[in-house]
Amino acid sequence: MLSAIEPTTSWYLILSAVLFGIGTVGVLVRRNPLVMFMCIELMLNAVNLSFVALATQLSNVNGQVAVFFVMVVAAAEVVVGLGIIVSIMRRRTDATADDLSGLKG
Amino acid sequence: MELVVFVLAAAMVLGGALGVVTRSNPVIVYAGAIVVLFLFVIMLLGVDESEDLSVEPIAKQRPLALILGGGLVAIIIAAVVTGRENFSAAGGALESATLESPDANIRALARSIFSTNVFAFEITSVLLLVAVVGTVVMARRMKSLGTGK
């Protein structure tokens, strides 16, 4: 019977670790700032997944509260970051992260 | 039953995540919480021309990144596997919704947010306000500069 195996908390934590790794590689490899932003979102949500899994496991609601705050901060971060990207793209089209290295002093 | 849901959801999530990293065209694969904002900006900027993934601007960057990411995942998984006895002993689950008390979990959540963490909650509202005001200031065209072009 398929339902005999129930996923444990470890499964969720491992899935979360894999997602976090994918996000890390994405940030390191990709050049498009928009895609890099999506990968940062991926890492945040991977950590959210482990928060929720452990909150359920430990019967402690504080994990879910932490996820709530992470979501709010992620939303604020995305708003500011996308605003920066839009204002950069307005000046020059097709900006990659390498083109922006001219910003360093 | 939970296994089926877990496997399906995990497959979808992992597929989408790999798609975001490996595809040159991000619009098709991304669907998330802040998706509307992202789609709006993608629509605004027209980033739908595909990025050339065949060139590698910094030498050896991709292998190094893969090694680093794989090592990170391996370390976390090792920590989870070695430490799983500790948290599996704690047991228990949050009060799940029943017909008699459909909002037990939500009540606990609200109590935690609005009493224990009420200061963080208030700071959160300030943070959101700062983000919105900052974005409006940043994204607004300056009158003297914008009309000249």
**Partner-chain contact A79 B132, CB within 8 Å:** yes
Burial of A6 (0-12, 13-18, 19+ CB in 10 A): exposed
> Count of A–B CB contacts within 8 Å?
194
State residue B99's pLDDT score.
61
State residue B149's pLDDT score.
40
| Ranges of residues in chain A whose predicted pLDDT is under 70 | 1-4, 93-95, 100-105
pLDDT digit string, tens, across residues A12-27: 889 999 999 999 998 8
For residue B69, the chain A residues in CB contact (below 8 A) are: 21-22, 24-25, 28
**Partner-chain contact B6 A11, CB within 8 Å:** yes
**Which of A15, A25, A98, A101 is the best substitution to test chain B (most B C-beta atoms within 10 A)?**
A25
Q: Where are the domains of chain A?
A: 9-94
Smallest Cβ–Cβ distance between A24 and the set B1, B10, B68 belongs to B68
Smallest Cβ–Cβ distance between B6 and the set A7, A20, A28 belongs to A7
Smallest Cβ–Cβ distance between A10 and the set B20, B57, B81 belongs to B81
State residue A56's pLDDT score.
80
**Partner-chain contact B69 A62, CB within 8 Å:** no
Angle value at C-alpha B137, between A70 and A83, nearest 5 degrees:
50
State residue B29's pLDDT score.
47
State residue B100's pLDDT score.
64
Distance CA B149, CA B144 (A): 10
Q: Which of A74, A14, A36, A37 is nearest to B72 (CA)?
A: A14
Three state DSSP letters for chain B: CHHHHHHHHHHHHHHHHHHHHHCCCCCCCCCCCCHHHHHHHHHHHCCCCCCCCCCCCCCCHHHHHHHHHHHHHHHHHHHHHHHHHHHHCCCCCCCCCCCCCCCHHHHHHHHHHHHHCHHHHHHHHHHHHHHHHHHHHHHCCCHHHHCCC
**Partner-chain contact A34 B42, CB within 8 Å:** yes
| Ranges of residues in chain B whose predicted pLDDT is under 70 | 24-35, 45-57, 85-104, 139, 141-149
Rg (CA), chain B: 23
**Partner-chain contact B21 A83, CB within 8 Å:** no
- H-type helices in A4-96, by residue range? 9-29, 33-58, 62-91
Nearest-CA distance A14 → chain B (Å) = 6
Q: In this prediction, does ipTM exceed 0.95?
A: no
**Partner-chain contact B105 A56, CB within 8 Å:** no
Q: Would you tell me which CATH number, out of the four given (1.10.287.3510, 3.40.50.12780, 3.90.1150.10, 1.10.760.10), belongs to the domain A9-94?
A: 1.10.287.3510
Smallest Cβ–Cβ distance between B90 and the set A21, A32, A58 belongs to A58
